[in-house]
Amino acid sequence: MKISVHRAPGTRDFLPEEMALRRYVRKVIEETFELYGFQPLETPAFERLDVLTGKYGEEADRLIFKIMKRGEELEAAKLSGDLADLGLRYDLTVPLARVVAMNRGELTFPFKRYQIQPVWRAERQQKGRYREFVQCDVDIVGTTSLAADAEIIALTDHVLHRLGIPGYRIHLNHRKLLQAIAQAASIPDERFLEMCVTIDKADKIGLNGVWEELANKGFITEQIVRLKEMLSAPHDPNVALQHIQPFLEKLESGQIALRETTAFLSHLQDMNVPRERVSLTLHLARGLDYYTGPIFETLVETPRIGSITGGGRYDNLIGMFCGEAIPAVGTSLGIERIIEVMRELKLFGEISEGSARVLVAVFSPETENEALKIAAELRRAGVPTEVFLESNKKLGKQFAYADKKRIPYVIVAGPDEISQGVVTLKNLQTGEQKVVDRAQIIEELNQRFRLE
């Protein structure tokens, strides 16, 4: 009986080779997070549906995987129509908010946590788009200090630098700058979000495309001209700030925005974030229904893959769960896209797949027990070792196995070697072969590993 062997659509298996890359990236990220004093958190794969829904907007709510009620509850639900009670995690921010709300008596604030776990979205099937992917979030909860926002940027820069990503640029903006800009262009509050959605497209459709779309949406020429003057700023943070200053400094909201942005940029300098890695990008607007202060995302020039990190300050979301305002700032590192970039740019080099270093071959069924003993000795000494698990295969097959699994050394102990108390050690890369005293194997191997 042969049965279905399909994977669920939009999901992936990670075999050892791929796992090695993913674990390497994850390790660098975790180590860097901990260098900044962030600590790990994990939450369950599913949450109650009422915790998940209504946080991301209607479009996103449709993408939540819903889990059916079970047993009697399901039977009862078939009449009422509410068939699901749980949903798979859609992001890591809502679970964070829930955890903070449930533990706010015990947590030490600012609560600096990171979380690296999969999330699930029922996206339409599309190449390169997955329904299960790992998110990597780092947030600081409980302070309005802009030093926290700067720390998130410094951390982002540190991670990308360590991973060796070339040519990345962290684009910054501030929601209050955007609001002051809208005010300076005489755009009424109720059209603010609409303006944001359009100018945010500058990366895709160019600034000229933005002016055109604004005109099509009925923004008047005077407003567009003002926006044009303000948004056509160079990317260098200080230059951009100087450029926008005269437009905003007469407004009270503008003064606050300028002061905060200046402080934010100055913190970045203190934290040693290289100036050429940072842009003040005034048309950056991302997800404004959610963010309340600085916002940021990272782009790479090649490959064209969209942003590899994105985040900002969101001072209201956690309050929705707590009934009291709790400010927060954080970012997502797009770990899947980062891996994609590193693969594309061949940045991984030689990463061990966790293969053993030595294969102990089995000369014949009669010598299997000696092979098992040698393997046990090596393992006790901390040498990652495989022993060939069948005693009736030709040595050639065993060498081919080592080769395929990229195990660099093979040890053979046939009857002659056993009676003489030696083994033959073969280096598969060079073909070199050497007879080694049984008592000296570990020393011999350790010497070779040290030289590698």
Of residues 16-55, which lie at the interface with a copy of itself (CB under 8 A)? Answer: 16, 19, 23, 34-48, 50-51
**3-state SS class at 30:** helix
- Least Cβ distance, residue 201 to a copy of itself (angstroms): 27
Q: Which is nearer to a copy of itself, 42 or 344 (CB)?
A: 42
Burial class (CB in 10 A: 0-12, 13-18, 19+), 324: exposed
Near a copy of itself by CB under 8 A, which window of 5-13, 245-253, 290-298, 444-452? 5-13
Q: Which is nearer to a copy of itself, 114 or 211 (CB)?
A: 114
**3-state SS class at 407:** coil
147 is a contact residue toward a copy of itself (CB under 8 A)? yes
Burial class (CB in 10 A: 0-12, 13-18, 19+), 188: exposed
- Least Cβ distance, residue 148 to a copy of itself (angstroms): 5
- Least Cβ distance, residue 294 to a copy of itself (angstroms): 14
Pairing of strands 358-360, 385-387: parallel
- Least Cβ distance, residue 355 to a copy of itself (angstroms): 7
139 is a contact residue toward a copy of itself (CB under 8 A)? no
DSSP one-letter code for 277: G
- Dihedral Cα 307, 309, 313, 317, nearest 10 deg: 90
Judge whether 174 and 281 are in contact, CB under 8 Å. Answer: no
- Least Cβ distance, residue 386 to a copy of itself (angstroms): 4
Rounded Cα distance between 151 and 268, Å, is 8
Q: Which is nearer to a copy of itself, 84 or 347 (CB)?
A: 84
125 is a contact residue toward a copy of itself (CB under 8 A)? no
Judge whether 280 and 152 are in contact, CB under 8 Å. Answer: no
Q: Which is nearer to a copy of itself, 229 or 353 (CB)?
A: 353
Q: Among 25, 29, 56, 88, indicate the residue that binds a copy of itself (CB under 8 A).
A: 88
Rounded Cα distance between 274 and 193, Å, is 32
- Least Cβ distance, residue 31 to a copy of itself (angstroms): 9
Distances in whole angstroms, Cα of residue 231 to Cα of each of 190, 208, 283, 293, 318 = 20, 11, 6, 18, 32
Considering only residues 172 to 191 of the shown chain, the ones binding a copy of itself according to CB under 8 A are none
x/- track of binding to a copy of itself for residues 230-269 (CB under 8 A):
------------------------------------xx--
Q: Which is nearer to a copy of itself, 31 or 252 (CB)?
A: 31
Tokens 């390169």 label which residue? 128
Q: Which two tokens stand for residue 191?
A: 């059209």
1 is a contact residue toward a copy of itself (CB under 8 A)? yes
Q: Among 28, 60, 165, 271, indicate the residue that binds a copy of itself (CB under 8 A).
A: 271
Considering only residues 305 to 344 of the shown chain, the ones binding a copy of itself according to CB under 8 A are 320-323
Q: Which is nearer to a copy of itself, 67 or 256 (CB)?
A: 67
451 is a contact residue toward a copy of itself (CB under 8 A)? no
- Least Cβ distance, residue 321 to a copy of itself (angstroms): 5
Considering only residues 272 to 291 of the shown chain, the ones binding a copy of itself according to CB under 8 A are 272
Q: Which two tokens stand for residue 11?
A: 């999901």
- Least Cβ distance, residue 109 to a copy of itself (angstroms): 9
Q: Which is nearer to a copy of itself, 44 or 421 (CB)?
A: 44
How many Cβ atoms from other residues are within 10 Å of residue 75's Cβ? 10
Q: Which is nearer to a copy of itself, 107 or 165 (CB)?
A: 107
Size of the site for a copy of itself (CB under 8 A): 105
Amino acid present at 316: N
Considering only residues 395 to 414 of the shown chain, the ones binding a copy of itself according to CB under 8 A are 401, 404-405, 407
- Least Cβ distance, residue 282 to a copy of itself (angstroms): 25
Number of Cα atoms under 13 Å in the Cβ half of residue 357? 13
Near a copy of itself by CB under 8 A, which window of 206-214, 337-345, 372-380, 420-428? 372-380
84 is a contact residue toward a copy of itself (CB under 8 A)? yes
Q: Exposed e or buried b for every residue in 118-152, given b needs 16+ CB within 10 A? A: ebbbeeeeeeeebbebbbbbbbbbbbeebebbbbb
DSSP one-letter code for 66: E
Query: Bridge partners of 300?
Result: 168
Element (H, E) at 368: helix 368-380
Pairing of strands 66-68, 385-387: unpaired
**3-state SS class at 127:** coil
- Least Cβ distance, residue 287 to a copy of itself (angstroms): 20
Q: Which is nearer to a copy of itself, 113 or 176 (CB)?
A: 113
Near a copy of itself by CB under 8 A, which window of 148-156, 201-209, 227-235, 290-298? 148-156
Backbone angles phi, psi at 139, to 5 degrees: -140, 155
**3-state SS class at 169:** strand
